Amino acid sequence: MEMNQAIVHIRDLLFDEMELAVSTSCGLFDKIAEDQWDFRPREGMRSLIELARHLATVPKQEQLILQEQSMDEVRQSVGASIMQLHDADALSSAMRSGVQTLKSYMTSLDEASFLYRETAPFFAKHQPAPQVKWLIEITTHLYHHRGQMFTYMKQLGLPVSMYDLYGPASDSWTL
C-alpha cells in the first residue's frame, strides 16, 4: 500500500528537523579542541566526550530500541563502537550513518506500520509507541543533547551562539 502524500510530507519534515540537528551537532563537534573533550561541568555529569558520544549514537541506539532489541543487544551493537569515537570526524560519521540507517528503516514502512505499529522499549515494556512517535522522540532526543552540548561549550568559553544551532540560513539573520 502506498503511503498517503500528507503522511510522507510529515515524515519528511521530521527528517528535515533531524538533519538540522545532525548538521548543527556536527558543526559543534568541529569547534571542540582535543584538550577540551574531558571537560565535565560537575561531578556526576557526563564529560563533553561522553555527551558527544551519546549524542552521536542516538539515531542508531534508538532505532535498535524501537525495534525491540534487548538492553544487551543494544549495548553490544552500540557499546563497542562508541568508545572508538574520539574526534569530531568520527562522531559526525557515526551520527550521519545512524541517521541514514534510521531513515532507511522508516521509509521502508508502509503507512499502517508507520502510523499504528507499536513497539515497546526494553526499559518500559508497558509503554508501546507507534513508529511515527518514535521518530518524533528520536528527533527531540537529538535536540535535547545538542542543547546540553551547547551549554557545556558555553561554559568552556567557546565562541558558540544561536547561529550555530540553526544552520547556514541563520547567517543572514539580524536581530
Contact 21, 10 (CB under 8 A): no
pLDDT, tens digit (0-9, with 9 covering 90-100), for 8-44? 999 999 999 999 999 999 999 999 999 999 999 999 9
- Residue 56, pLDDT score: 96
Of residues 173, 158, 148, 152, the one with CA closest to residue 21: 148
Domain holding 50: CATH number? 1.20.120.450
- Residue 107, pLDDT score: 96
Classify residue 171: in a domain, yes or no: no
Classify residue 13: in a domain, yes or no: yes
Contact 52, 149 (CB under 8 A): yes
Q: What is the separation, in whole angstroms, between the first and last Cα of the chain?
A: 47
Classify residue 173: in a domain, yes or no: no
Classify residue 103: in a domain, yes or no: yes
Low-confidence ranges of the chain (pLDDT < 50): 170, 173-175
Classify residue 31: in a domain, yes or no: yes
- d(Cα 46, Cα 152) in Å, to the nearest integer? 10
- Alpha helices, DSSP H only, in the chain? 5-30, 48-66, 71-74, 80-82, 88-108, 111-116, 131-155
Classify residue 175: in a domain, yes or no: no
- Residue 172, pLDDT score: 52
In total, how many domains does the chain have?
1
Classify residue 65: in a domain, yes or no: yes
- Residue 160, pLDDT score: 93
- Residue 175, pLDDT score: 44
Classify residue 40: in a domain, yes or no: yes
Enclosing domain of residue 24: 5-166
